[in-house]
Structure 1
Amino acid sequence: MKTATLLFELLPLQLEQFNLDVCIADKKNGKWRKFSTKEAIEKSTQLSFGLMSKGVLAGEKVAIISENRTEWNFVDVAVQQIGAISVPMYPTISEDDYAYIFEHSETKIVFVSSEEIYHKAKNGAAKANVDLPIYIFDESKLTEHWSSLLENGTEEQKLEMKQRQAQINELDLVTIIYTSGTTGQPKGVMLNHKNIISNATAVSERAEYKNGHDRVLSFLPLCHIFERTAIYFYFQLGLSVYYAESLETISENLQEVKPHGFNTVPRLIEKIYDKIIEKGFALSGIKKQLFFWSVNLGLKYNPDQAMGFAYNLQLKIARKLIFSKWQEALGGNVRHIIVGASAIQPRLKRVFWAADIKILEGYGLTETSPGISIGLPDPTQAKLDYVGPLLTGVQVIIASDGEILVKGPNVMIGYYKDQEKTDEVIVDGWFHTGDIGELTPDNFLRITDRKKEMFKTSGGKYIAPQVMENKLKESVLIEQVMVIGENRKFPAALIVPNLDALASWAERHGLDKNDSDLLNQPEVRKKFQSEVDEANERFGHWEQVKKFEILKDQWSIASGELTPTLKLKRRIIKEKYTNLIEKIYGV
């Protein structure tokens, strides 16, 4: 199969090899809008000519601020084809963030999806003291519609575009992605065509899709490199991409699209699992017993180990009676789910694999385009305690302090306008990930923690909070948790409860689930203490959570405690709960 070396070559190759009736699709006002490969190319090319007419030059920056939708791809490809640089931005960030990125990147033109984002972008541009033309995807009277830029192109423009494309090299900058980060100002990660294409190709080698046939559902933000690189390998393999309406409609969209796979983050897998378990608690009698027998069986599953005849027979029964319904809930066709952005609990991988839903955990960073390693769909090589073997072309060494260092075609050019920070993380060609891990002789990688998130107690003991947090989140009652204790006598935890699960538990135990003071009831405190005690059994005495507080607030992207990929913003959370933390430690 022919391969592309430049990103804008992917769709023409798809046209040549697969010519899909549905290349990309989204749902607006209750109806699916579907674009064939040919139509996607035509829209992108018409927009390229429009951008040229507006004076956008090679190397100039074009911002895209939108949720996932087909227009996102049209702009992305249109910008690539004329040698300009895309600057994707999260719709959820603040006006101040927009102002910083507009100014820092020297953005020349902006595309937004909605009037709400238009206002934020306009205010951001005003704060940055820049006058930017802003085009909108939705129908609006506030500014020009993006379609006003669509042109068929004059002969002169067609010649100019060919000349521009002839000058584009695979090592040329194609996008600047500003990392949302958990601390400090965002950094502009510069990626070239080779960075992304090499990664898309390497990831596609691990996938179990039928080229030119299968469908995928997309709902992770396209402005994040994880989903964006995935879209490019979907283009490579000739997969039809359907964009979910929103995170709230994923269940409905899964039933409509019946995809063969999708990408997600651990938090969403945790939510799916918690909802399944809650449904199990609502059962009674033999159905309830059979449900939890199946779940407990699944939690012991190891696909790459011989489980024995008796276990395999029981698993066959569990799959037919219970786990088949899990597959149906995902649309009935899912071959595998790729999970990334942060660590997933190994037990969740086990139970989903037992349900014949393969979870392939990936590991990487924006700076590595993003993939460094990803799990294998072959059960004999699954190794669920690892994040898979290294991707093709990627090299890893483990530094003396345990940090993972990476070299390969996927490693970024550097941080935009920041050579000092670039030199801090890329030393002698090796990118310092900031993650701690282990590498087996056969190149399987295990992540043990974030180097920057590890801390010492006042007694000098190292604490790896993410490992402890994942263990605590095994409780269906714990929605989110952050382990604290840097320079303190002992670790403690801030716990965000799963309110639905807690209400269900309260009802089963004779408590008023609607009690506004439910979190402070002695029975509830006692239950959470037992959940913490159970998690503590897996850790050394110095690591164990000695105290905890249950929070009434739910953490979210909107309220500022989570990044757009649902990671904890640790510094923000510590600042927000300073008084509570002081109370925990008796200060």
Structure 2
Amino acid sequence: MREFSLPALYEVPADGNLTDIVRRNAAQHPDVAVIGRKVNGRWEDVSATAFLAEVRAAAKGLIAAGVGPGDRVGLMSRTRYEWTLFDFAIWSAGAVTVPVYETSSAEQIQWILGDSGAVACVVESDAHAEAVESVRDRLPALAHVWQIDRDAVAELNRTGAEVSDETVDERSAVAGADDPATIVYTSGTTGRPKGCVLTHRSFFAECGNVVERLNPLFRTGECSVLLFLPVAHVFGRLVEVAALMAPIKLGHAPDIKHLTDELAAFRPTLILGVPRVFEKVYNGARAKAQADGKLKIFDKAADTAIAYSRALDAPGGPSLGLRLKHKLFDKLVFSKLRAVLGGRGEYAISGGAPLGERLGHFFRGIGFTVLEGYGLTESCAATAFNPWDRQKIGTVGQPLPGSVVRIADDGEVLLHGEHLFKEYWNNEGATEEALADGWFHTGDIGTLDEDGYLRITGRKKEIIVTAGGKNVAPAVIEDRIRAHALVAECMVVGDGRPFVAALVTLDEEFLGRWAQEHGKPAGATAASLREDPELLAAVQRAVDDGNAAVSKAESVRKFRVLSAQFTEDSGHLTPSLKLKRNVVAKDYADEVEALYRG
């Protein structure tokens, strides 16, 4: 058993709640732009004073409508300014926010709003409103539904016009630090989602220590962050609250299909994303270089960036020759890549899944350091992250200051700290199981080095045991295979089987480019190419690269290319893009069986 901790850098208020942040900002930084809001295609600043006024006005409407202290209010929308506005308005009314993913089905909406006992819900679109309406007869507590696209803000402002500022201030003070701020329903990979109760203290401990430890990335008046993650996910919520706590300017981007355009317009100094975002930046740049006939230059530049980053960790640092090559490629390639990411940023924070060492070294080598972290809904997002000044690529960093990470005798990662969740809503049995002996049992397997840097090596429940008795952690090889531009997702199988195999899906964006470059018919799809020898050879190279990271007994012997991608809509990915392994295994049972025939 091994454990590591760091002293807290932020003192959590003995009482108070998250509404204190917006009032403090208006008092101490009245003219500072705390929000960047897009209006008619242009970014406009919202000052701390203006944001407080808008939050108060919306909170008055909620109070006038009958939303009381401790009531739960659903919030279902894409990532946009109004999400943050309503989040703080709900807290200012003394209520509890219940996020609902905007892609949720009617059945999921019914479960989340029904289990939480929500008395009201804010939705974004007609489709969201129709989905809620379709199950409203099974939601007896639900009294109000407001729609953002149908002037919910203006409607609540009118409703609450007679409510005084004093009433809002009194209601804002009702919740204490240990009262629920939000109930986040974990997407889960099996079964119904559990309502994870996060308190105001959880967010203070989490965001306060993140901001203090990464202080140069959160300089008021200088730094900014563009939020494009779903705010319904706890990682997106960390971005929202930490940005306002600092405060730095927070922007919202609802559609990641146009992310590069948004980055170029908003020009953030900090980006927070999942590994797939950074993989697409790299793969997109490489594909463009290939289309322009500059692939050899790009690959040499990438190799130089990786070598340069690795040398930064070696005694003596990069050699003179490597520094000169790096300087040359910085003018030819690296500066253009940084421009794609907005042109002002030097740092990003990545979570939700493993980043991969090669990608980590590539980005640091081009002058855009991606700090990898690790966390869960139950830990209010990050429970470990790489510090800006002492990064160890390949790890998920050190524990959140003020918290403890312990590795149990069986390798499971255990957590302790003020940032942890309070309980699972209406689920005492699950709470007792997860919080046994005062420690949160994550279900993840990991190791701690002598400096307290954590490595996550797999999931306790996802360990594959082959027929030969070999324990295989799928994450290591899956991450390497998925790094290939052609590969969208990879799922390793082999539990109780004679060898390890894999199901592979293709990235539709890059498949089209690959097909054109290799003379395949126009409009070729994964279904039409899944048996194509050239394509199988390309995927085999990705598998070979993955196999290089593991022992022979853990290596993938065979693979099957599937006709369709795993998506959230298909039910195979969670909203945070994690594989629902049991669902995939069930839906593609025939494909798995085909891997082991003969």
- CA drift at 1:314: 1.8
> Counterparts of 1:74-153 in structure 2 under 5 Å?
74-128=85-139, 131-139=142-150, 145-150=152-157
Provide the C-alpha distance between the structure 2 equivalents of 1:565 and 1:557, rounded to a whole number of angstroms. 9
Secondary structure, counterpart of 1:78 in structure 2: helix
- 1:255 corresponds in structure 2 to 264
> What do residues 236-287 of structure 1 show as CA deviations (whole Å, max 9, x unaligned)?
2221111114111111111111111121011111111111111122233xx4
Aligned match of 1:223:
232
Contact 1:414/1:422 (8 A) holds in 2 = yes
**Counterpart for residue 535 of structure 2:** 524
In the alignment, which residue of structure 1 is the partner of 2:5? none
Which of 191, 197, 201 in structure 2 is aligned with 1:194? 201
Amino acid at match of 2:60: F
Q: Contact 1:263 / 1:339 at 8 angstroms: preserved in 2? A: yes
Q: Which amino acid aligns with 2:304?
A: L
Identify which of structures 1 and 2 has the higher relative contact order when contacts are C-alpha pairs closer than 8 Å and 6+ apart.
Answer: 2
Tell me whether 125-134 or 79-88 shows the greater mean CA deviation: 125-134
Pair 1:481-2:490 in alignment: yes
Residue identity matched to 1:262 = I
2: CA distance between counterparts of 1:584 and 1:488? 10
Deviation of residue 22 (structure 1)? Answer: 3.1
- Matched to 2:268, the amino acid is P
- State how far apart, in whole Å, the 2-side matches of 1:139 and 1:34 are: 23
**Equivalent residue, structure 1, for 2:246:** 237
How far off is 1:534 after superposition? 3.5
Does the residue aligned with 2:370 lie in a helix, a strand or coil? strand
Written as runs of structure 1 = structure 2, the 5 A alignment for 1:481-500 is 481-500=490-509
Q: Does 1:407 align with 2:416?
A: yes
Deviates more, 1:228-237 or 1:346-355: 228-237
The match for 1:554 is 565
Alignment partner, residue 426 of structure 2:
417
CA contact (8 A) 2:33 2:48 kept: yes
Residue pair 1:26, 1:33 contacting (<8 A) in 2 also: yes
| Counterparts of 1:131 and 1:331, CA distance in 2 | 42
Distance 2:292 2:121 in 1: 52
Q: Which amino acid aligns with 2:120?
A: I
Report how many residues are paired.
579
- Give the aligned partner of residue 298 of structure 1: 305
1:544 equivalent in alignment to 2:551: no
**Other-structure match for 2:363:** 352
Which one is further off, 559-568 or 215-224? Answer: 559-568
Give the TM-score, by structure 1 length: 0.94
C-alpha change, 1:155 and 1:102, in structure 2 (3 Å) is closer
Distance in 2 between residues matched to 1:127 and 1:314, nearest whole Å: 65
What amino acid does structure 2 have at the position aligned with 1:293?
K
| CA distance in 1 between partners of 2:561 and 2:11 (Å) | 56
Residues 127 and 582 (structure 1 numbering): CA distance in 2 closer, same or farther, change over 3 Å? farther
1:141-180 to 2 correspondences below 5 Å: 145-150=152-157, 157-180=164-187
Match of 2:192 in 1: 185
Q: Which consecutive residues of structure 2, in runs of 5 or more, have no partner in the other structure?
A: 1-9
| One of 457, 460, 463 as aligned partner of 2:472 | 463
What CA RMSD, in Å, does the superposition of the two structures yield over aligned residues?
Answer: 2.2
CA contact (8 A) 2:63 2:160 kept: no
* SS of aligned partner of 1:428: helix
Give the letter aligned to residue 355 of structure 1: I
Paired with 1:315 and 1:91, the residues of 2 have a C-alpha distance of 44
| Cα distance in 2 for residues equivalent to 1:385 and 1:156 | 53
Which residue pairs with 2:275 in the alignment? 266
1:324–1:432 CA distance, 2 compared to 1 (3 A): same
- 2:58–2:160 CA contact under 8 A, matched in 1: no
Q: Which moved more, 1:99-108 or 1:38-47?
A: 38-47
- Structure 1 residues 3 and 427: CA distance shift in structure 2, 3 A: closer
1:16-31 aligned at under 5 Å gives the runs 16-20=27-31, 22-27=33-38, 29-31=40-42
Q: Does the Cα contact within 8 Å between 1:98 and 1:125 map onto a contact in 2?
A: no
Query: Where do 5+ consecutive residues of structure 1 fail to align?
Result: none
CA deviation string 1:117-150 (max 9, x = no partner) = 111111132344555310011127xxxx342222
Whether the 8 Å contact between 1:24 and 1:241 is mirrored in structure 2 is yes
User: Deviation digits for residues 415-467 of structure 1, max 9, x if unmatched?
Assistant: 01111101111112110111111112322111111212212112221111111
Q: CA shift at 1:159, angstroms? A: 4.3
Question: Shift in Å at residue 3 of structure 1?
Answer: 8.2
* Contact 1:20/1:212 (8 A) holds in 2: no
TM-score with structure 2 setting the length: 0.92
What is the alpha-carbon distance in structure 2 between the residues aligned to residue 583 and residue 154 of structure 1? 66
Give the deviation of 1:341 after TM superposition: 1.2
The one-letter code sitting in structure 2 at the alignment partner of 1:529 is Q
What residue is the counterpart of 1:283 in the other structure? Answer: 292
Find the residue that maps to 1:501 and give its secondary structure.
helix
Shift of 1:336: 0.7
Q: How many Å separate the matches in 2 of 1:279 and 1:348?
A: 18
Structure 1 residues 528 and 206: alpha-carbon distance in aligned structure 2, compared to 1, 3 A threshold: same
1:312 deviates by 2.3
Residue of structure 2 equivalent to 1:205: 212
**Which position in structure 1 is the counterpart of 2:320?**
309
Q: Do 2:225 and 2:248's aligned partners in 1 also have CA atoms closer than 8 Å?
A: yes
1:205 aligned counterpart, secondary structure? helix
Q: Are 1:20 and 1:238, in contact at CA under 8 Å, matched by a contact in 2?
A: no
SS at match of 1:177: strand
1:109 partner amino acid: A
Counterpart residue identity of residue 71, structure 1: E
- Paired residue for 1:567? 578
Q: Distance in 2 between matches of 1:530 and 1:76?
A: 47
- Alpha-carbon separation, structure 1, partners of 2:369 and 2:425: 38
* Compared CA separation, residues 88 and 61, structure 1 to 2 (3 A): same
Q: Deviations over 1:2-31 (max 9, x none)?
A: 986521011122222322453223435534
- The match for 1:577 among 577, 588, 592 is 588
